[in-house]
Structure 1
Amino acid sequence: MSDMSEAPRTSDGGFASVRPDHNFDLLSDVSLRISVEVGSTSMRLADLLSLGEGSVIELDRQANDALDIFANGTLIAKGEIVNMDGRYGVRISEVVSAGRRFAGLERRS
C-alpha cells in the first residue's frame, strides 16, 4: 500500500481500521535485544584503571533487589536470576507498566 488511495474502505467510503491482532502478526518476526541489569555504579577513570583481577565493584542494588529487564534499552519488566541446566535465566516477577518504563532510564544515565 503506497498511499491511502489503496487502503481498504468501509461501505460508507471511510477507511477501514486494521485489526490490532493483524498489527502484532506483522511484528512477530522482529528481533529484540533483551538484556538484564544487575546494577550500576559511577567511578572515576583513575579508579577504573586501577582495577585488577579479584577487584570488586560495589553496585547500587541490594542483593535481594529485583533485576531490570530491558528490550532494546527500554525497561519492560523486573525479575530474579534462576539456574536453568547450568545456565543463567531470569524469572519475570513484574511486568512494568507503560508509565513506569522510562523511570529506570534516569538511574542509568
Structure 2
Amino acid sequence: MTAYNPALHRFGDVSVRLSVELGRTDMPLREVLALGEGSVVPLNRLTDELLDVTANGRIIAKGEVVTQDGRFALRIVSLAGDDTPGAPAADTGRAKPEVPPLDEAGRDQ
C-alpha cells in the first residue's frame, strides 16, 4: 500500500466506486437485440493491453487481470500522474502506458 499524506487520513472512510473497464464496442441496436447465450462480442482492447482503473469515473491507474484465491483480481501497474520527473520507475517488464488527459468531468479528452 502506498503511503499518503497524514492530513488526508480523515478521508480514509469515504467510499468510492472502483471500476475496471475490460473494453468497449459500438453495435447497432439490431445486433444487441440478436445477442443470446454463446454470443461473442469483440471489444476494442487487445488481450495484452493494460486496463483502465477508475474511481468514480475518473482514471486513476492502469492494471492487469490476475487471479487470486479463485477470483479475478487486478494488479496495479501504474498510477495516473505517476510521471513525476526524477521519480524512480517501477520495473514491470512493460512499457509505461499512456494515461489520457481528462476533461473537467473526468472523461478522456
In structure 2, distance between residues paired with 1:29 and 1:92? 21
* Structure 2 contact 66–74 (Cα < 8 Å) conserved: yes
> Do structure 1's residue 74 and structure 2's residue 93 form an aligned pair?
no
- The answer to whether 1:33 aligns with 2:35 is no
Aligned residue in 1 for 2:6: 21
Matched to 2:57, the amino acid is: G
Aligned length: 87
Where does residue 55 of structure 1 map in the other structure? Answer: 39
State the Cα distance separating 1:101 from its structure 2 match. 5.1
TM-superposed deviation, 1:26: 2.0
Structure with max Cα Rg: 1
Give, in whole Å, the separation in 2 of the partners of 1:84 and 1:70.
Answer: 21
Conserved 8 A contact 2:100-2:108: no
Per the alignment, residue 88 of structure 1 pairs with 72
Distance 1:78 1:47 in 2: 31
TM-score (ref. length: structure 2): 0.71
More off after superposition, 92-101 vs 70-79: 92-101
Q: Give the superposition deviation at 1:73.
A: 0.7
Give ranges in structure 1 of 5+ residues lacking alignment.
1-19
The normalised TM-score by structure 1 is 0.71
Identity %: 43
Q: Distance in 2 between matches of 1:60 and 1:105?
A: 18
Query: Cα RMSD over matched residues?
Result: 2.3
Q: Deviations over 1:45-93 (max 9, x none)?
A: 1110001110000100111000110001110000000110000100000
